């Protein structure tokens, strides 16, 4: 069970963001505690990715505040987010396909020698260590990531987030492009990260996946939050589907 008595790791308070008159996110508040996985559900265009990009620094909210460990945070770009130990695994994985795993893992944060030159050997050694922990079958250290399978690419993206001591992890549909075995691998990694006390936002379409992996879930429709953040054990998949499709709060929660 997740202990929610302390300060939340992240609080998104009353966030709104509009694109040319269309309210993509409309006064949404979500929080996240250490060691917890909060699922964000909703249709395409419901606003879940937009909401979370305010936390990862890709967008700036029009109104509302972000609190990290109870303190107000200013996140203007992805560099700021990294400063708060927020790491994001994008749906597109955001990997440079022409570079190898080590180059991608350390992109923007390379290990350099005293002369200021990139220390390739050290980076590869570190990559081997972290990949050994996450995905022991990973061997293709010298190939560009374009030559890797979906699961291998996913594990590079996760390794990048994990290696730099993420406290808050955002995963945007991490299993969308994966087969069953690779999905299982990602599920195991998520479990491992939870045990380390990392807070995870998991954006997903699949209600079964959310039931299985998440502690709580927030459903968004047309930019608004449907029925607050619910504990997944207290709702059925049908309830969740009803929230996603009809925007209807389940009767036993609405009461």
Task: Enumerate binding residues for another protein (CB under 8 A).
Answer: 56, 58, 77-79, 82, 88, 90, 92-99, 103-104, 107-110, 112, 116-118, 120-122, 124-125, 144, 146-147
| CB contact at 8 A, 168 and 10 | yes
Between 125 and 245, name the residue whose CB sits nearer to another protein.
Answer: 125
To the nearest whole angstrom, how small is the minimum distance from the Cβ of residue 239 to another protein? 34
Tokens (6 digits) for 14: 């009353």
Closest approach of another protein to the CB of residue 45, in Å: 20
Cβ-based nearer residue to another protein, 33 or 84: 84
Name which of 104 and 209 has its Cβ closer to another protein. 104
Phi, psi of 194 (to 5 degrees): -60, -45
Which CB sits closer to another protein, 146 or 165?
A: 146
Alpha helices in 2-135 (DSSP H): 48-56, 78-83, 101-105, 120-134
Query: What 3-state DSSP class applies to 155?
Result: helix
| Chain-centre distance for alpha carbon 59 | 15
Q: Write down the least CB distance from residue 94 to another protein, Å.
A: 4
Distance between CA atoms of residues 175 and 83, nearest Å: 27
Whichever of 60 and 208 has its CB closer to another protein, that residue is: 60
Nearer to another protein, 7 or 98 (CB): 98
CB of 8 to another protein, least distance (A): 25
Helix axes 180-195, 150-163, angle to 10 degrees: 10
Question: What tokens were used for 82?
Answer: 């990294």
Give which of 84, 83, 81 is closest to 94, Cα–Cα: 81
Helix (H, G, I), strand (E, B), or coil: what is residue 122? helix
DSSP per position, 177-240: T--HHHHHHHHHHHHHHHHTT-EEEEE-S-HHHHHHH-SEEEEEETTEEEEEEEEGGGS-HHHH
CB of 34 to another protein, least distance (A): 24
Minimum distance between the CB of residue 26 and another protein, rounded to whole angstroms? 25
* Closest distance to another protein from the beta carbon of 231 (Å): 32
- CB nearer to another protein: give 82 or 194: 82
CA pair distance 46, 72, nearest whole angstrom: 26
């Amino acid at each position: 069970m997740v202990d929610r008595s302390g300060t939340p790791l992240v609080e998104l308070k009353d966030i709104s963001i509009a694109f040319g008159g269309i309210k993509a996110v409309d006064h949404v508040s979500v929080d996240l505690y250490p060691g917890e996985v909060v699922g964000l559900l909703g249709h395409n265009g419901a606003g879940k990715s937009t909401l979370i990009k305010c936390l990862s620094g890709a967008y700036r909210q029009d109104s509302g505040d972000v609190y990290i460990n109870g303190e107000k945070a200013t996140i203007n770009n992805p560099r700021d987010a990294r400063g708060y130990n927020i790491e994001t695994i994008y749906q597109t994985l955001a990997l440079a396909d022409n570079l190898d795993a080590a180059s991608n893992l350390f992109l923007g944060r390379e290990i350099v020698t005293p002369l200021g030159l990139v220390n390739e050997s050290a980076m590869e050694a570190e990559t081997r260590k972290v990949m050994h922990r996450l995905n022991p079958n990973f061997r293709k250290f010298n190939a560009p990531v374009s030559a890797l399978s979906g699961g291998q690419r996913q594990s590079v993206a996760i390794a990048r987030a994990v290696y730099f001591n993420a406290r808050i992890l955002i995963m945007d549909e991490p299993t969308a492009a994966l087969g069953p075995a690779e999905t299982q691998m990602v599920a195991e990694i998520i479990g491992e990260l939870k045990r380390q006390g990392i807070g995870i936002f998991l954006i997903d379409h699949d209600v079964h996946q959310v039931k299985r992996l998440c502690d709580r879930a927030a459903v968004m429709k047309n930019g608004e939050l449907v029925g607050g953040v619910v504990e997944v054990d207290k709702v059925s998949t049908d309830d969740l589907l009803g929230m996603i499709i009809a925007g209807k709060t389940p009767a036993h929660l609405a009461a």
